Amino acid sequence: MYSTKYVKPNSTPEALEAIKSLSEGKFLAGGMTLIPTLKQRLASPDGLVDISGCNLDTIADEGETIKIGAMSRHVSVAESPVVKKAIPTLASLAEGIGDRQVRNRGTLGGSVANNDPSACYPSAVLALKATVHTNSRSIAADDFFTGMFETALEEDEIIESISFSKPTKANYVKFPNPASRYAMVGVFVAKFGEGVRVAVTGAGEGGVFRHKEMETALSSNYSSDSLSSLNIASDGLISDLHASAEYRANLIKEMTKRAVV
């Protein structure tokens, strides 16, 4: 790892000040993505601003939504009575991330800011019509993810919390990569009064995406039968050593069927 400077401010304003004083500083949350990246010398920030002391880990029921602080660790979301009651599948999504030690450290904000094409949380953000609250604005999920590892976040912008809309029904099903536990394909289906949203992770070359065809089919008939006649195209899907684009297309349909119960 290249040498770097470490600071741990006590508030978001202090964290913003600290990051501005660096030329290529990085926020450090759970470190489960950033530290492996630094170890492999794939990044060389001149400073790390640890945001774990900034009180960004509250989880609250706000009526129509639940608001989860960016620093909430996966284990806290998995065990939160608020999350379990309002959106149980979000708690089980968190419980299914990586392994116990990764969940003890990794955070919601880190996962969403990183937007790994195989990460689980981005699909929940997109399917649950979430709003990402940063230090300067609120961004709708549909505008947030802009491509593989790309988001609408500006440099030096910090996610403070994310509000997830409560669905009438929702389910996340993933086909995990057996080694890493990341999603080879993960599908988050959420039913709202006005229709169904289906977000797919692990599969798209541009990162997480909504599957409009399946949304339309499920909005008119919320059952796995309504998917049977759909032909899932493999265009724009990832092909790598783990799975071909065609195999992923088939997994998308299969995971969605399993999610719709």
Ligand X SMILES: Cc1cc2nc3c(=O)[nH]c(=O)nc-3n(C[C@H](O)[C@H](O)[C@H](O)COP(=O)(O)OP(=O)(O)OC[C@H]3O[C@@H](n4cnc5c(N)ncnc54)[C@H](O)[C@@H]3O)c2cc1C
Structure tokens at 220: 């008119």
Establish if 22 lies at the interface with another protein (CB under 8 A): no
Q: State in angstroms the smallest separation of the CB of 236 from another protein.
A: 28
Q: What is the dihedral of CA 245, 145, 120, 41, to 10 degrees?
A: 90
> CA–CA separation, 146 vs 142, rounded Å?
9
Residue numbers 178-197 binding another protein by CB under 8 A: 179-181
Contact map string, positions 126 to 165, toward another protein, x by CB under 8 A: ----------------------------------------
Beta pairing, strands 209-210 & 195-201:
antiparallel
What DSSP letter does each residue of the chain carry, written as one string?
----EEE--SSHHHHHHHHHTSSS-EEESS-TTHHHHHHTTS---SEEEE-TTS----EEE-SSEEEEETT-BHHHHHH-HHHHHH-HHHHHHHHTSS-HHHHHH-BHHHHHHHT-TT-SHHHHHHHTT-EEEESS-EEEHHHHEEETTEESPPTT--EEEEEEEPPSEEEEEEEE-TTT--EEEEEEEEEETTEEEEEEESSBTTSSEE-HHHHHHHHH--STHHHHT-----TTB---SS--HHHHHHHHHHHHHHH--
- Min dist. Cβ of residue 78 to ligand X (A): 12
Q: Are strands 26-28 and 47-50 parallel, antiparallel or unpaired?
A: parallel
Q: Which does 26 bind (CB under 5 to 8 A by kind): ligand X, another protein, none?
A: ligand X
Site for ligand X in 7-66 (CB under 6 A): 26-34, 51
Is 67 near ligand X (CB under 6 A)?
A: no
Q: Which of 19, 32, 90, 198 binds another protein (CB under 8 A)?
A: 32
Q: How far is the CB of 54 from ligand X (least distance, A)?
A: 9
Kindly state whether residue 102 participates in binding another protein, applying the rule CB under 8 A: yes
Closest approach, Cβ 94 to ligand X, in A, equals 9
Could you say which of 64, 99, 194, 240 contacts another protein (CB under 8 A)? 99
Q: Between residues 29 and 203, which has the closer beta carbon with respect to ligand X?
A: 29
> Which listed option, ligand X, another protein, none, makes contact with residue 16 (CB within 5 to 8 Å by class)?
none
Q: Residue 208, interface with ligand X (CB under 6 A)?
A: no
- Binding ligand X (rule: CB under 6 A), the pick from 72, 114, 171, 256 is 114
Question: Taking CB under 8 A as the rule, does residue 1 contact another protein?
Answer: yes
Q: 117 with 238: CB under 8 angstroms?
A: yes
Stretch that binds another protein, among 36-44, 107-115, 206-214, 222-230 (CB under 8 A): 36-44
CB of 216 to ligand X, least distance (A): 27
Residues that bind ligand X (CB under 6 A): 26-34, 51, 70, 97-98, 102, 106-107, 109-111, 113-114, 116, 119-121, 158-159, 180-182
